[in-house]
Amino acid sequence: MAKQSAIDDDGALAGFASHLHLMENRAERTVTTYLAHTRAFSRYLAEAHPGLSLTEVEPGQIHSFLLHEGERGITQVTRSTAYFALKSLYNFLEGNEEVACNPTDGVKIRHAPQIRTEVYTDAQAEQILTWARNQDGRRWEVGHTLLATLRFTGLRLNELVNLRLDQVDLDARRFSLVGKGSNPRLVPVPPTLAPVLRSYLEDVRPALPNSPYFFANPESDPAHQFHGRFGPRAVHELVRQAGEGAGAPGRHFAHRWRHTYATSLLRHGEDIHVVQRLLGHSNIATTIRYLHLSDADLMDAVDRAFPAA
């Protein structure tokens, strides 16, 4: 009985993976995360409730699993993600009429508090770019251009490392790429970035490894999966070194630049719906999470709207 349940569960999870990829167009990272949590739940069932298949689960087992994860030291944020992974799994099973209802609907969780990501001020961002520009070596010639691209386009890390030469049109000042969820996305290149990219293409790029990718890593290993381009870890290391080298406060990671890009646009009076399109968000609620406006920003907004007579 237990063996048959395991076989059935494996089939359900395989179908769920295909559903996430093909029907929901989920990002690869989301698919990987959801599958990790649903497989962990399946293993938990096999140990704590032998013979109970995924399609026989009730709210009590979901609740017990989340408590079990908490007792193992899993953070509230990760447990919330596990809950939503299971909710997505059972939505899929319910849609296939393999379960009568979604058992996660009977489970209440305490949502993790939203953590506000740090952003760079305009002065800090310029300080970091200046530091990177003043470093010696081919790595920082590329690194400065890469950081400037993060600063002035707000690209996601995955979009940056996968940006190809044929997606960059400097005459039209735009990147044409496929963003999150396989959605076509046009990213404008501002006038301050265009000459930096052009100089990189003319003076630096010809000396780098032959590659279809825009940012070719001069230190990449031919045996490595990211040969000919920067991988995510290499970008994170550049970002960290530049932030620390320039003496900017806080933690330094690629996504901080994306938040900085969005906040700079809002501080300069851009409409949030314009920022939504520039970031490639399908939902305005996602864009709202990128708001990092200070009290001074709010005062400036009111003063602009209602100037003194």
Q: What is the pTM of this model?
A: 0.64
Instruction: Tell whether the model's pLDDT for residue 3 goes beyond 50.
Output: no
Mean pLDDT of the chain: 86
DSSP letter assigned to residue 283: S
CA atoms lying within 13 Å on the CB side of residue 156: 15
User: Per residue in 251-286, is it b (16+ CB within 10 Å) or e — as a string?
Assistant: ebbbebbbbbbbbbbbbeeeeeeebbebbbbeeeee
**pLDDT given at position 293:** 59
pLDDT tens per residue across span 202-225: 999 999 888 899 999 887 666 655
* Residues forming the active site: 156, 180, 255, 258, 281, 290
Question: Domains of the chain by range and CATH?
Answer: 2-106 (1.10.150.130), 122-304 (1.10.443.10)
**pLDDT given at position 200:** 96
- Specify the higher pLDDT residue, 158 or 129: 129
pLDDT tens per residue across span 28-40: 888 899 999 999 9
230 burial level (CB within 10 Å; 0-12, 13-18, 19+): buried
